[in-house]
Amino acid sequence: MDVEEIVALSIALFTVLCFVLVESTELFAVLLLICFAASLQLAGFFIPREAKVVLKSLVYLFLIAFIGIVVRKALEVLR
């Protein structure tokens, strides 16, 4: 098995596990952000450049979602 396949399999397994166990959408998005960031840091040296670009794009996308979640929660607290 190639490292890229192992990373994809671990991300898929973590996603399914989180989908089954987590009820909140916000928590699900944050856990996926952590998963993508950890996968990028741990396997970034071993995966090809194309896969790294896709993984970085996913991290940025979920980081934007995380910022939106934090802003919305902060506005809830301030009200």
Give the percent of the chain with pLDDT over 90. Answer: 80
What are residue 14's phi and psi, to 5 degrees? -65, -40
Taking CA atoms, 31 is separated from 7, 15, 46, 66, in Å, by: 16, 9, 23, 10
Residue 18: closest CA among 29, 4, 8 = 29
**Two structure tokens written together for 37:** 């960031």
pLDDT of residue 2: 84
Task: Give the residue extent of every domain in the chain.
Answer: 3-78
Give the percent of the chain with pLDDT over 70. Answer: 100
